[in-house]
Structures are given as structure tokens and as C-alpha cells.
Amino acid sequence: MTYHPVNPTLADPLPADALELLRSMYEIRFFEDEIMGLFSQNLVRGSTHLCQGQEAVTVGVCSALSPGDTMTCTYRGHGAVLAMGAPLDRAFGEILGRAGGLCGGKGGSMHLADVSVGALGSNAIVGGHLPTTVGAALAASYRGTSEVSVAFFGDGSTNIGAFHESLNLASIWKLPAIFVIENNQYGEYSTLASTTPIERLSDRAASYGMPGVFVDGNDVIAMRSATKTAVERARAGEGPTLIEADTYRHSGHSRSDPAKYRPEEEVKSWFARDPIVQLRNAIEASGGADAAAEVERTAHTDVDAARDLALTWPEPELSAGMEHIYS
């Protein structure tokens, strides 16, 4: 299975909700700008992994989902969780370690979860959440309901055992799961080619008898379209799909990585294909310049307001540390 052209794309007439997609991507972009800012003020602990540059993947995929569908993702999961509809303020609150955070401050940047919108959990163990998505899909299959579950994960994660086991099990049971590789070309600092003996990760789908689709991950419409096909297949009981989204992270692996190992030309060419700029250009080209500018402006305002609100929230009570271990 190699390149599967997916339509429609940004080249085609835009969908009615293009501005919604733009807004969602802007929110993620600005959210992470703020996170960086908070980090440098020492208000964020540990590490944080930005998905800037990859917004079209999560926004495109999640825009193809319906209420009740679920999603798992990685430590690079701000975008995915927000794209599912988690509130900005509570996402800020979580990363700030506040009581009002999505997880009461116990999870942090790497563990954002908002189960009420289907964001089942962000995982800090590479590959660790793929089986969870298999299980969420199993629940739907078991109950005979129609929800699908999506797992986002990186290119480097396709080499770990849990990837293999999860795709195999999902396929043999024809579960409504969608596996989305966010191929941002690097693990932490290692290029894909240095760790993976094949070029097209979506080709690995063949080992599991499922379709493998390679998509322009910086084209939000293409991502949505590919996902829609996978969702239909999943809801029809035909089983899982592996989608490889070709994309790029704008910054380093984590806040401590200046990403000096990347060739300048490569960085440049990918920045030129910034998923937000591309969608905005398309919107402007179809006469939506003002509306797009307004979306950008309000996204900015909303993000700032959410940040400011979250900053007013108190830290957790000490007693919270011993809550939620058992039920």
C-alpha cells in the first residue's frame, strides 16, 4: 500500500466549516505559544512537547468524528485534546497544575484528558495508549454501537511492540479503531530513516490486513477526508485503518531541544507549508479574508482570556494527592 491520493483537499472548493477548522488550528497554535511563555516564567513543570506545525492532523481527524467517538494521544497531545473540544481554560489549568485543570493538576502537559469530550487520555509512554484505543473500540463493538476510537502517535512509535500488537488485535476483531501516525519526520532527535528500515510507514498496514493511507498532514481537508473514509469503514464493521500523516513539528522535541540537528532547507520548506497559513490562504482566495482575520483575532483573545482565567485558579489542596487512586 503506498500513496493514496485523498480528496477533497485544500485545492478544491472549501467546506462550509473551513473557518471553524481555521479557528481550531489557531487556538492550538496560540495555546502553545502561551504554554511556551508560561514555561519560561517557570509556571510549567517538567517538560512540554509542542505540536505546532502539526495542527492540521489533529484538527482534520477530529473534525471527522462525532459525539461519542473517542481519542487517545501522546505527550504531544495539546492539539488533539483541544481538537476534541476540551476547554482552553481547563487545559491551561492542567498544565499550570491548578485544581481547576482538566485532571485537577495531577496529570500535567503530558497527561491532558477530558473524557467528557472523548479525550480518554494523553500518554507519556511511547505506544502505551494504542491498546487503550483498541479497548475503546472493542467496547463499541461489544455493545453493537457505532463509536470509533482514534489513536494519534508519532513516526518513532511505529517501532515499538505495542503498535504491532494493537494493530493486529484491532484488525483480527475488525474493531472501529483508527490509527493515525503523526509523521513529523523525527523521534526525539533521530530521523525516521535512522530508526526505520522502510520509507512509507502506512505500508505497515499490510502486515495487519488493513488499509494504509498516506496523507498530506499539513492539509486539514485532506486529513478530514481520509479520516471520513476510515470512520465509515469502522462504523460499517469493516475494521481499522492506518493513516500516515506527513507533517513537521515547528520546534524541537521538547522545550529543552533547540532542534539544531535539522537541515535549514528542510525547516524552511516545511514552514513554507505551514498548515494554518495554507488553510488561511485558501480561505482568503475564496473571499474569506476578513472572516479569517476575525477568526485569528478571536482565537487569540479567547486563548489569552482562558490563560488569564486559569492563572487565577488555586493550586490543588494537599488532600487531592490521595484522591482518585482507587474509586
Ligand X SMILES: Cc1ncc(C[n+]2csc(CCOP(=O)(O)OP(=O)(O)O)c2C)c(N)n1
Interface with ligand X: number of residues (CB under 6 A): 16
257 binds, among Mg ion, ligand X, a second copy, none (CB under 5 to 8 A by kind): none
Binding of ligand X by 156 (CB under 6 A): yes
* CA pair distance 62, 69, nearest whole angstrom: 9
Q: CB of residue 223 vs a second copy: minimum separation in angstroms?
A: 24
Please state, as a whole number, how many other Cβ atoms lie within 10 Å of the Cβ of residue 165: 14
* CA pair distance 98, 195, nearest whole angstrom: 38
Per CB under 8 A, the list member of 36, 99, 139, 160 interacting with a second copy is: 160
Binding of a second copy by 204 (CB under 8 A): yes
Interface with a second copy: number of residues (CB under 8 A): 23
C-alpha dist (Å) from residue 183 to 8, 147, 168: 21, 25, 20
Site string for ligand X, 122-141 (x = CB under 6 A): --xxx---------------
Instruction: Decide whether 3 or 271 has the Cβ nearer to a second copy.
Output: 3
3-state secondary structure of 128: coil
* Residue 221 and residue 191 in contact, taking contact as beta carbons nearer than 8 Å: no
184 binds, among other proteins, a second copy, Mg ion, none (CB under 5 to 8 A by kind): Mg ion
* CA pair distance 275, 203, nearest whole angstrom: 24
Instruction: Decide whether 125 or 289 has the Cβ nearer to a second copy.
Output: 125
C-alpha dist (Å) from residue 75 to 15, 125, 153: 31, 8, 9
Instruction: Decide whether 74 or 166 has the Cβ nearer to Mg ion.
Output: 74
Q: CB of residue 210 vs a second copy: minimum separation in angstroms?
A: 7
Instruction: Decide whether 152 or 208 has the Cβ nearer to ligand X.
Output: 152
Q: CB of residue 135 vs other proteins: minimum separation in angstroms?
A: 2
Q: CB of residue 217 vs Mg ion: minimum separation in angstroms?
A: 11
Q: CB of residue 49 vs other proteins: minimum separation in angstroms?
A: 12
Binding of ligand X by 184 (CB under 6 A): yes
Helical H segments across 237-288, by residue range: 264-272, 275-285
C-alpha cell at 206: 499490510
DSSP single-letter state for residue 48: -
CA-nearest of 3, 6, 51 to 222 is 6
* Residue 278 and residue 213 in contact, taking contact as beta carbons nearer than 8 Å: no
210 binds, among a second copy, other proteins, ligand X, none (CB under 5 to 8 A by kind): a second copy
Query: Which residues, 6 or more positions from 239, have their beta carbon under 8 angstroms from its beta carbon?
Result: 170, 171, 173, 174, 175, 176, 210, 233
* CA pair distance 106, 98, nearest whole angstrom: 9
- Candidate segments 32-40, 143-151, 197-205, 293-301, binder of a second copy by CB under 8 A: 197-205
Amino acid at 224: R
Q: CB of residue 160 vs other proteins: minimum separation in angstroms?
A: 5
Rule CB under 6 A: which residues touch ligand X? 74, 76, 124-126, 153-157, 182, 184, 186-188, 253
- Residues forming contacts to a second copy in the complex (CB under 8 A) are 159-165, 168-169, 171-172, 194-198, 203-204, 206-210
